[in-house]
Structures are given as C-alpha cells and as structure tokens.
Structure 1
Amino acid sequence: MAVSASVVKGIKIDLKPIDVEDFPVLWNLIYGEEEPEFKKWDAPYFPWKRVDFKAFESVMLERIEKGQDSQWLIIAEDEIIGSVTYYWEYEPTKWMEIGITIYSPNHWNGGYGTEAIKLWTSHLFRVFPQIPRLGYTTWSGNKRMIQVGLKLGMQEEARIRKARFYNGEYYDSVKLGVLREEWEEMYGK
C-alpha cells in the first residue's frame, strides 16, 4: 500500500516521497564517502557496503514503479538531510516499525530528527488507520535516538541486553514504541 504522494509540512523540515531527480543527491549522502559519519550511529554493528549509483538507481526505480514509498526524504532549507522509513515487522498483526537517518552531521542535535519522527508517526497513523502502534529499534550507544523517542512520549518497550557488538564493546538493543491512543492524546489525530 502506498503511503500518499503529498508533502508533510513541518516547522523546520518537510517530508516528501522520493522522486527520480532526488537519486543523485540521496546516493551521494549515503554512499559518497568511504566511511560516512552517520554509519557510526545508524546500526554500525551491521556491515556497510558501498553500492554504485547504477545499482542504487535500479533498485529505487523499481520501488517507485511498484508504488513502494516506504522511504521518504527529510528536507530542511530546501536540501535533503535524511530519510524516514516504515516497514512491516509482521503485517498480519499490523506490527509496523519506523526508522530514520539524518545523513548530514550539520543537522544533528538541532531538533530535525525529533520533528521528522513526530511528523512521520502522525502521518503513518493517519494513512494506516488499522495499525495500533508504531515503534523503532535503536542501540544503547545511540543515546540521541533513545532520547528522541522518550521526548516524544514513546516508551521503552524492550531492552535486549548485550545484543549488539561494536568496536570491541557490547551494547543493548532498545525498542521504543507508542500506542495510537497515546499518540492521539498527546498530539491529536
């Protein structure tokens, strides 16, 4: 199911579906550097493999052609700074999870991620009336992502201790989530 092809407007940022014209900028943000800074925070315990532009373009075109718009762009000051995603953990029970990456370190710690998660969560609750909750998983090394969820009223729903290994250290996997009725009480429909 497609989310909706409209832009979600915020104060500092907007969210929008990916267009073909966005591919070069998005590819450069993700794969333009050999060791991108964002990967130190975005699941760094999973191997990162550089993808060439043609392969990236092919996958993205296929997604667009199939109407799969589970990844939207975060736009600040008319530039792409990151993306938000959703995926089905288990669709038969309407278990949906979200994700976010702010690729540009210049936009870290400025409230952009918090606003993006807030807009994306509200948007997904609107366009998927059947889902009872939304959540995301991060790791204990990414304290900013844990703080974002807590600041927005999400609850820590699970902590799997020492489940992630990175740079010679073990970290916890942390799940945060919010029920639809909790979100609507805090932010409206």
Structure 2
Amino acid sequence: MHMQKPLKGSLVVLDNITEEDLPELWEIIYDTEHPEWRKWDSPYVTLHPMDYEKFHDQMLNLIKHKLDKQFLIKANDEIIGIIFYDWEHESSNSLEVGLTIYRHEYLNRGYELDTLKTWVDYLFDNFPIPRIGLTTWSGNERLLSIGKELGMMVEGRIRKSRLYRGRYYDSVKLGILREEWEEQQHQ
C-alpha cells in the first residue's frame, strides 16, 4: 500500500518511507545498543544488529515493489517511530496493526494515541474490513491502555506465553469493529 498523501493527526504526520528517510530510520532503530523502546516493543524478541547497507537494501527493495506495510510516524519534523499493518488472514479481511515509538522523549505524551487514532481511521476508510486488531504483551500496560482508550476491547488472552527476563507475560489481543469505531466517531 502506498499513501497518496501524508496523514495528519493532531500531533503526528504518518507518511510513506522513502530512500531519503533510511539513514535516520536506521539510526533510531539500530544505533543504540540497549534502546529504551526495546523495553516495550516485544522485548522478548531479539533485535539482531544490522549494518546500514543491508538495512538500506532490504528497505529499498520493499519500497520499490510497494510491499512495505510500514509507515513513518513524524513529529516536529523528525521521525519518531513506525506504524504498520499486517494481514492476519487476508482472505477473511482480518487486519492487525502495531506501532513503535523509537524516540523516548515522545513516549507518554499522547503521540501513540494520536498515531493509532489517525491510523485506524485511515484503515477503515481504505479497506473493506470488519475489524482491526492489536496484539501486545501484558507488560506493555501503556499500549493496552491506549487501545482501550480508543475503544478497543480485549478479545483474547494467551496466558504466560511470553518469557521476558525470567518472568512470564500474557499475549493480549485487542480489537474494534467497524461499527463500534463509526459509532464512537459520531459521538
């Protein structure tokens, strides 16, 4: 999917990734050994170091073939994170979303909420889908709270399925139906 124009939220702008964005994007993802964002973004999944050339080549291939399902989150003229969608089951129109804010100074200041609201609006406007899902882990209380604030409901919980630093966490699936979203937007 390629957006025709940037999406503007109250605090953020969501936009396509271009080749010119790749140095800054690589830097905020890979240039710090133990970044703060890793504590919240599926910290039980290993982030493998990647040199810039490999990152550049992989991302450029996705961009050129319009296969990339990731989009930039920008605020104050800098890249602060990534928002994405993925088909859980495309023929059933089952879509999942996720986001990562890489710059810690933008956490807990409304940027995640504005990003998700803008993104969910866009996806419901552009895809004939009945619901949008968001899956996270029980240690990410901030994202769970944001999802619920957007009107998402807990649809499922897989108990003790994520091991992080010697402790088990649940996998939590949230979701919102199109009619719930539309009703909420009219209030």
When normalised by structure 2's length, the TM-score is 0.97
Matched, 1:98 2:125: no
CA shift digits 1:145-186 (9 cap, x unpaired): 000000010001111110100001000100111001111111
Which SS does the other structure have where 1:46 is aligned? coil
**Counterpart mapping for 1:33-182 below 5 A:** 33-128=32-127, 130-182=128-180
Query: Which blocks of at least 5 consecutive residues in structure 1 are unaligned?
Result: none
CA shift digits 1:4-31 (9 cap, x unpaired): 2310011111111111110000000100
Give the 4+ runs in structure 1 shifted more than 4 A: none
Matched residue count? 186
Q: Structure 1's 46 and 75: CA in aligned 2 closer, same or farther, altered over 3 A?
A: same
Kept in 2, the 8 Å contact 1:3–1:124? The answer is no
Which SS does the other structure have where 1:159 is aligned? strand
> Percentage identity across aligned positions?
48
Q: C-alpha separation between the residues in 2 aligned to 1:4 and 1:18?
A: 10
- Aligned-residue CA RMSD in angstroms? 0.9
Corresponding letter in the other structure for 1:4 = M
Query: Which blocks of at least 5 consecutive residues in structure 2 are unaligned?
Result: none
2:30 corresponds in structure 1 to: 31
Q: C-alpha separation between the residues in 1 aligned to 2:85 and 2:154?
A: 19
When normalised by structure 1's length, the TM-score is 0.96
Corresponding letter in the other structure for 1:16 = D
